[in-house]
Chains A and B, each alone.
Chain A
Amino acid sequence: MKDLRTGLTRRRLLGTAIGGAAAMAAFPSWAQARTLNILSHAVHERVLGTAEGDLLADWKAANDASLSFTTFDSNPLQDRLFREASLPETEYSVGYLIDNRPTSDIAALFEPLGPLNDANPIEDFGDIAPGLIQGMTVDGNLIGIPVRHATQALFYNEALLEEAGISAPPQTLEELVEQANQLTFTSSAGTPVTGMVLASDLAVFPVMFARAFGGDFITHDFQLVPDRAAMEQGLSVLRGLFEAGALPRSYAATRNDDMVTWMQQGRAAFTVLPFARFAQLNNPEQSNFAGRIKAIPFPGSSTLPAGTPMSAVVEAWAMVIPRNATDKELAWSYIREVSSKRVTLGMALNGNGPVRVSSYADPALMQANPVAEIEAGVLANARGAFPPFPEAARAQATMLEEVQLAVLGRKSVTDAVGAIIDRVGPMMPA
């Protein structure tokens, strides 16, 4: 039958449709031979560089492969990664995993990498920080190769300190509190300055304050609040800062990005962020205080015995291969290349926290990153905020809820710490 208006016949219509479908099905063969699909945070893709600065250009050419990144923010990324790894098959052959997520059940979704490393080893594997490797070893299986760490530092605005007549940044937590209170003022530019800005939705900050007194939230051997007095002291300091106005009134609504903005605008004198934020905080295109925002190790309390190291919080990312991935061979090849000394250093120069000890000895990195040496020192004693276990996310949220109540003055610090112990206790692994 022929349509008299268009001249289209049924045979021609069907032929065109089938031909078009066949052409579309054949399309991938026109592109590069292999595409490696990767689930990551945007920062993981960015630090690998682009165009002329592409750190993987040679690897791509040698493997006739292209990379296709699908990026998300941290929590949605982990959710999507676990979802993909739970399917019968996934086209994502590499994923980026945070070190406080792999419980036994989660780890079982990913390929054990030990045998792959034995058969085709990563360059100088022993150079990768052993603590980070340990964090990715679950039930005796290495399931992820560390690729990035974010170690927390104390950032301060040097210009504001000078304006307030403070000649040196704090060496102890007590000095930090004193300076933060002193720096809660209106600057000469007319900007109301808050001594310190901290987000209220991350466990990092209360944990850092508890550790400053030798305490912790959950240790790596699963002790909940091992030193109750230290936790109470840490939270009392936060509450004192809030009551003095040295933490913003909007503390409960403050998020990570707010901390960066406040520091760049000179609205806060101190904050706690990963060392890797140094470049962003001092970026002349974004910051009103480019070059004047400095980083030092977060100080411990003067009440701690002399020589007691302060354990800053470190969060590490690792590359994993889902067990159901379609191209494990290419995935391992990618992981080997990204873990090489050359790429690790290249990524570090692009702002990545390097997982290789040797990277910190590189003159180029030392020159490009003024805080690299300090970061290396802090990393030596750093550990995760809490270990992975099935109810870790709920435990963190519960702790943060009680911390907010204590800091905002809606509950006494003693009661809040008691509630943390009572409520989180049943969530702990047996």
Chain B
Amino acid sequence: MRTRKLTELLPFVAPVHVLILSVIVLPALYVAWLSLMESSFGQAPSFVGFDNFIRVLSDPSFRSALWNTVVLVVVAVHVELLLGLLLALLFASGLPFRRVLLVCTLAPYAVSEVIAVVSWRYLFDPQAGPVTQLLLSLGLPVLDWSFEPVHAMILIAMLTIWLHLPFTFIILYAARLAIPGDLYEAARIDGARPWQAFRRVTLPMLGPAIVVALLFRYIFAFRIFSEVWLLTGGGPARTTEVVAVYLYREAFTYNAFGTAAATAWIMVLASLLLALGYVLVLRKQVTGNAH
């Protein structure tokens, strides 16, 4: 009876499987196959084993791009988490004009990445940008991002934080609103101070939401491309290049599809490793705090 029901249900489920198979599994397998080949336009792919992986991993430009990506991801994701948490607590504590402020906070998420980068490039133009001019008029130091790689990385981090803060914020805000008021009431009766209430009630209750926000942001942030490509193009002299830009160059500038495919797989594994380690540690801490 059960088997017959499954058979009857299969046609309804099958389209989902076909979709996942065709848009995720098969392309991933094709990229894995391609990563073992030397391939370019006008050439039949030829098997080279793991040469592409060795070539990519031994390329100083790739290692530099990987380091830049890790630094950007770690900094941006954690600053986003901190700011998102602060904003969520601020909104939950009751703010005047809450709806308007909520719209303002969420607005960057509705802006196209390309438009955002072009706008920021204009605002921070080293010669004529309004922000640069304002900082100069106030006698403050400016971001010399077109010359100093560190300044460029700071600007990229600021931009990506601005763009993706709403994602982290909305997850944490929703989780904070879901915490029952009774818990705070009980904590208050037990004599807990605000900081103790935050540490013993808010933080443990927000734990799962924090894990979800971090996990998603780690994986998304590792793919950072538009902000770097449109702002600095990876320059000066490839000093701000990230892994996705490296991949793009291999595939679409040099037409080296084998090394591009190998880069893609290294990128997937690196992002999973980075996220996995953090999530395990955080889960442990959250579980510990909860008990």
Contacts and interface: CB of A to CB of B under 8 A. Distances in A.
Contacts of B146: 249-254
B237 A248 contact: no
Interface residues of A, number: 37
A250 B237 contact: no
Contacts of B43: 105
Contacts of B233: 201, 253, 255
B151 to A, nearest CB: 11
B129 to A, nearest CB: 10
B237 A404 contact: yes
Interface string B42-65: 110000000000000000000000
Contact of B41 (A82, A251, A255, A397): A82
Interface string B252-266: 111110000000000
A105 B43 CA distance: 6
Interface in A237-252: 248-252
A287 to B, nearest CB: 17
A79 B147 contact: no
Interface string A250-280: 1111110000000000010000000000000
Contacts of B231: 253
B161 to A, nearest CB: 21
A405 B252 contact: no
How would you classify the secondary structure of chain B's contact residues: helix, strand, loop or mixed? loop
Interface string A385-410: 00000110110010001101100101
Contacts of A109: 41-42
B254 A408 contact: no
A105 B41 contact: yes
A56 to B, nearest CB: 30
A83 interface: yes
B142 to A, nearest CB: 10
A404 B236 CA distance: 7
A253 B236 CA distance: 7
Contacts of B253: 75, 393-394, 397
A405 B237 contact: yes
Nearest to A254: B146
Given A83-B41, A86-B42, A408 B147 contact: yes
Contact of A75 (B147, B232, B252): B252
Nearest to A82: B41
Contacts of B125: 250
A73 B147 CA distance: 27
A284 interface: no
Nearest to B236: A252
B166 to A, nearest CB: 28
Contacts of B236: 200, 252-253, 404-405, 408, 410
Contacts of B254: 391, 393-394, 397
Identify the interface centre among A105, A109, A391: most chain B CB within 10 Å of its CB: A105
Nearest to A83: B41
B17 interface: no
A75 B249 CA distance: 11
Nearest to A102: B42
Given A106-B42, A408-B147, A252 B235 contact: yes
A186 B253 CA distance: 39
A319 B248 CA distance: 27
B57 to A, nearest CB: 18
A103 B42 contact: yes
Nearest to A410: B237
Contact of B147 (A192, A250, A391, A393): A250
Interface string A74-115: 011001001101100000000000000001111111000000
B144 A249 contact: yes
A249 B237 contact: no
A249 B42 contact: no
Nearest to B235: A252
Nearest to A201: B233
A248 B249 CA distance: 26
A229 B42 CA distance: 37
Contacts of A86: 41-42
A260 to B, nearest CB: 15
8 contacts: A85-B41, A105-B43, A106-B41, A192-B127, A249-B147, A252-B236, A394-B256, A410-B237
Closest A-B pairs by Cβ, 7 of them: A105-B42, A252-B236, A250-B146, A253-B146, A82-B41, A404-B237, A250-B126
Interface of B: 40-43, 125-128, 144-147, 231-233, 235-238, 249, 252-256
